[in-house]
Amino acid sequence: MQLYSYFRSSAAYRVRIALNLKGLPYEYIPVHLIKDGGQQLKPEYTRLNPQALVPTLVDGDAVLTQSMAIIEYLDETHPQPALLPDTPVARARVRALAQGIACDIHPLNNLRVLRYLKRDLDLPDEARDAWYRHWVESGLLALERMLADSPDTGAFCHGDTPTLADACLVPQVFNARRLDCDLSAMPTIVRIDAACLALPAFTQAAPDAQPDAA
């Protein structure tokens, strides 16, 4: 398998975690989102990924895009260890936690959006950082309640083994720390993040551990 990735991309980070948890080797192909005016915009990449986003996973003839779709694919094709629980209700909970990050937090703080705020709206850095923190902090606070209030939360987001939800949570917490978001009201998230980062599958997927890290 080949993973088209950018070290700092949250979405690529999720897939790296999933590949590592599954013990699946892959070739790392860097796509630099800033250099060369954005390598993700070049025709040789948009042919694989018309959205011009990372990651893309190539598995034989299959070209797969969208991090959560890729992780579900990996879970279906390499079932062990499972990244989704067994029952429909539990699976829905894990997916909802993942989507609470991937649909409601991350899209508002990724690079292309921050760029639009700066370049097209000419927003001062301070207002842009406030935007960033607003969505990350309010989003993670809601997630904290979903985690803290549920008996299904264990050492990880769901039970005592990592799932799709943890693969989404850790990159988002990484981003939050990078922009000095306040995590003091989120003890459950901080605890789960630490449990994840005790596992090589997560640390080896971290941005700084990637070959294209600046």
Give the angle subtended at the CA of 69 by the CAs of 168 and 209, to the nearest 5°: 45
Rule CB under 8 A: is residue 142 a binding residue for a copy of itself? yes
Using CB under 8 A, which of the segments 33-41, 44-52, 188-196, 206-214 binds a copy of itself? Answer: 44-52
Q: How far apart are CA 7 and CA 36, in angstroms?
A: 16
Residue from 34, 41, 81, 116 in contact with a copy of itself (CB under 8 A): 116
DSSP symbols for 26-77: -EEEE--SSGGG-GGGSHHHHTT-TT--S-EEEETTEEEESHHHHHHHHHHH
Using CB under 8 A, which of the segments 22-30, 32-40, 97-105, 186-194 binds a copy of itself? Answer: 97-105
Residue from 29, 32, 82, 99 in contact with a copy of itself (CB under 8 A): 99
The least distance separating a copy of itself from the CB of residue 207, rounded to whole angstroms, comes to 20
Task: Tell me the H-state helices in the chain.
Answer: 10-22, 43-46, 67-77, 88-102, 106-109, 111-115, 125-148, 164-178, 187-197, 200-203
When the beta carbons of 27 and 61 are compared against a copy of itself, the nearer one is 61
Rg of the chain on CA atoms, in Å: 17
Residue 9 φ/ψ region, left for φ over 0, alpha for ψ in the -120 to 50 degree band, beta for the rest: beta
Neighbours of 87 (CB within 10 A): 9
Q: How many residues bind a copy of itself (CB under 8 A)?
A: 46
The least distance separating a copy of itself from the CB of residue 66, rounded to whole angstroms, comes to 4
When the beta carbons of 96 and 213 are compared against a copy of itself, the nearer one is 96
Rule CB under 8 A: is residue 92 a binding residue for a copy of itself? yes
Rule CB under 8 A: is residue 100 a binding residue for a copy of itself? yes
Residue 103 near residue 181 (C-beta atoms within 8 A): no
Residue from 15, 20, 72, 173 in contact with a copy of itself (CB under 8 A): 72
Residue from 23, 34, 41, 51 in contact with a copy of itself (CB under 8 A): 51
Residues lying near a copy of itself in the complex (CB under 8 A) are found at: 50-53, 62, 64-66, 68-70, 72-73, 76-77, 88-89, 91-93, 95-96, 98-100, 102-104, 106-108, 113, 116, 120-121, 123, 127, 130-131, 134, 139, 142-143, 145-146, 149
